[in-house]
Amino acid sequence: MKIAMVGSGYVGLVSGACFADFGHDVVCIDKDPAKIEKLHDGIMPIYEPGLDALVDSNVKAGRLSFTTDLAEGIKDASAIFIAVGTPSRRGDGHADLTFVYAVAREVGEALENDAVVVTKSTVPVGTGDEVERILADSAAVKDRGLKVSVVSNPEFLREGAAIGDFKHPDRIVIGAEDDFGRDVMSEVYRPLFLNQSPLLFVNRRSSELIKYAANAFLATKITFINEMADLCEKVGADVQDVSRGIGMDGRIGSKFLHAGPGYGGSCFPKDTLALLKTAEDYESPTRIVEAVVKVNDTRKRAMGRKVLDALGGADAARGKKVALLGLTFKPNTDDMRDSPAIAVAQALGDAGVQVAAYDPEGMEIAAPLMPDVTMCADPYEAIDGADAVAIVTEWDAFRALDLNRVKALAKAPVLVDLRNIYSPQDVRDAGFEYSSIGRA
């Protein structure tokens, strides 16, 4: 089957490469000629473990290609996926659907054959209805009497583990309104269905809401355990023990119960805001999600104050230096969107603290977002002369730092572990002042 993937960013490129690996003929389309040129040269526009090898093997096999020409790319395609960005709209936080609707109009004008048009982008409830209207009103579809079905197929990919998530999903959600859409999507995902990955067929609006509801629930779990971590510090409990104790309950589960500096990234921040706007539009308040958004925003800044406290307070911290280890919102990605490190660095900078930082993949993107932060070649360069070291992202490269070397390079042996990747006793035995999240 020929598949066209409109949008060659994180979702589109990973999905397109995986579909090609299943044996489909996939064309990834993007309006950015520089991005397409890099892809032709084997250069990935994002960092995702294993993606470069997956793309390379499928390009060589003739199953994966790239173009800026949408009309040529969708020619003879049975399924056309829309995988463009839906950033938060300024002012109200709603998803900006400008790119989605622009693609729908362009597809409608260029389409020459019956096809299923699939919204892979995260879109608010009712977006598929508007895409369907745009396609139905397009001159090409009308003139040719084409059969077009609009389907919702949200992605559930974790950055840093996206290929594994795509190939071994918990579920595949397909929102379709007719048999044509369901039949084509069944064929698209037949390789996964043969591996017993569950296909959940629902109506289109339910599918659109499932994505937002899932992300809001996960954001709620993160925010809940972060508040429990604060309480643990006050009462002398250990949040990791609390997390294990509640996570062993099958009704709760252990995932997303790791205390830290707050959630960030491309999904949770914008999707919770978009869900709030949808709830507002339909006069159905989601007060729990409102609280989650507020608490998470506050927490990121509070992590900056936690580092200041380790320096003796805001007044004592002025003029000192902090080494920030980890800038991306999570490891194994170069994504800086809404990363807690941005708020931490801002809080330190506002207090007159010099900040030096290192991240294995994110510094090129981080640099313009943090103009006052010095980017370093490795963690030890950042640590050199620092009055405190703060671990913000749990990259594997930070899990086994040479503490003796850290102590020798740093001006003061102070370690603030915002991801709880070290044993408090081990670090204190090495002669450090140590603080972490939700632990004594």
DSSP state of 396: G
Asked whether residue 229 falls in the same domain as residue 350, the answer is no
| Assigned domain for 440 exists | no
Q: Pick from 171, 202, 233: which residue ends a domain? A: 202
Under a CB-based contact definition with an 8 Å cutoff, are residues 66 and 8 in contact? Answer: yes
- Residue 46 covered by a domain: yes
| Domain termination site, one of 293, 316, 333 | 293
Question: What is the model's pLDDT at position 280?
Answer: 94
pLDDT mean across residues, the chain: 96
Residue 139: which pLDDT band, with cuts at 50, 70 and 90?
confident
Contact 66, 36 (CB under 8 A): yes
Tens digits of per-residue pLDDT, 358-389?
999 999 999 999 999 999 999 999 999 999 99
Give the lowest-confidence range in 30-44, 131-145, 146-160, 166-180.
Answer: 131-145
* 235 plus 137 within the same structural domain: no
User: Which tens digit of pLDDT belongs to each residue from 265-319?
Assistant: 989 999 999 999 999 999 999 999 999 999 999 999 999 999 999 999 999 999 9
Whole-number pLDDT of residue 343: 96
Give the model's pLDDT for residue 88: 87
Q: What is the pTM of this model?
A: 0.93
303 and 170 share a domain?
Answer: no
Residue 253, SS3 per DSSP: coil
Same domain, 264 and 406: no
Q: What is the mean pLDDT of residues 239-267?
A: 96
Residues 141 and 9 placed together within one structural domain of the fold = yes
| Percentage of residues in the chain having pLDDT higher than 70 | 100
> Would you state the pLDDT for residue 195?
73
Give the mean model confidence (pLDDT) for residues 100-111. Answer: 96
Partners of 323 in the beta sheet?
356, 389
Q: Is 241 helix (H, G, I), strand (E, B) or coil?
A: helix
Supply the pLDDT for residue 308. 97
Instruction: List 201's β-bridge partners, or say none.
Output: 174
Neighbouring C-beta atoms of residue 372, cutoff 10 Å:
10
**181/219 same-domain check:** no
Among 293, 309, 339, the domain-final residue is 293
Q: Judge whether 267 counts as a catalytic residue.
A: yes
Q: How many domains does the chain have?
A: 3
Residue 207 inside a domain? The answer is: no
Kindly provide the b/e burial profile for residues 331-343, where b requires at least 16 CB atoms within 10 angstroms of the residue's own CB. bbbbbbbbbbbbb
**Residue whose entry in the numeric block shows the structure tokens 């199953």:** 63
Which pLDDT belongs to residue 140? 80
Q: In whole angstroms, how far apart are CA 157 and each of 64, 117, 141, 399?
A: 20, 20, 33, 25
Phi, psi of 2 (to 5 degrees): -90, 130
**CATH number, position 38:** 3.40.50.720
Q: Are residues 52 and 139 in the same domain?
A: yes
Does 258 lie in the same domain as 125? no
Q: Is residue 91 over pLDDT 80?
A: no
Q: What is the mean pLDDT of residues 200-225?
A: 98
pLDDT level of residue 144 (50, 70, 90 thresholds): confident
* Mean pLDDT confidence for 413-430: 97
pLDDT at 141: 84
Burial class (CB in 10 A: 0-12, 13-18, 19+), 267: buried
Calculate what percentage of the chain has a pLDDT beyond 90.
Answer: 94
Instruction: Write down the pLDDT at residue 73.
Output: 97
What is the structure's pLDDT at 386? 98
Domain span at residue 352 reads 299-435
Please indicate, yes or no, whether residues 316 and 428 belong to a single structural domain of this protein.
yes
Please, which contacts does 286-293 make with residues 24 or more away whose CB atoms are closer than 8 Å? 286/216, 288/220, 289/216, 289/219, 289/220, 291/223, 292/216, 292/219, 292/220, 292/223, 293/269
265 & 313 share domain: no
**Could you tell me which of 280, 347, 218 has the C-alpha nearest to residue 91?**
280
In a domain, 247, yes or no: yes
At 153, the pLDDT band (50, 70, 90 cuts) reads: very high
Domain assignment of residue 219, yes or no: yes
- The secondary element (H helix, E strand) that includes residue 80 is strand 79-82
Q: What digits encode the pLDDT tens for the residues 167-206? A: 999 999 999 999 999 999 999 999 987 777 899 999 999 9
Q: Specify whether 328 is located in the same domain as 275.
A: no
Rounded distance, CA 75 to CA 4, Å? 8
What confidence tens digit (pLDDT) does each residue in 37-50 have? 999 999 999 999 99
pLDDT of 84? 96
Q: What is the CATH number of the domain that holds 218?
A: 1.10.1040.10
Do 390 and 262 belong together in one domain?
Answer: no
**Measured distance CA(271)–CA(273) in Å, rounded:** 5
Catalytic one among 18, 232, 267, 376?
A: 267
**Domain presence at residue 117:** yes
Q: Are 153 and 118 in contact (CB under 8 A)?
A: yes
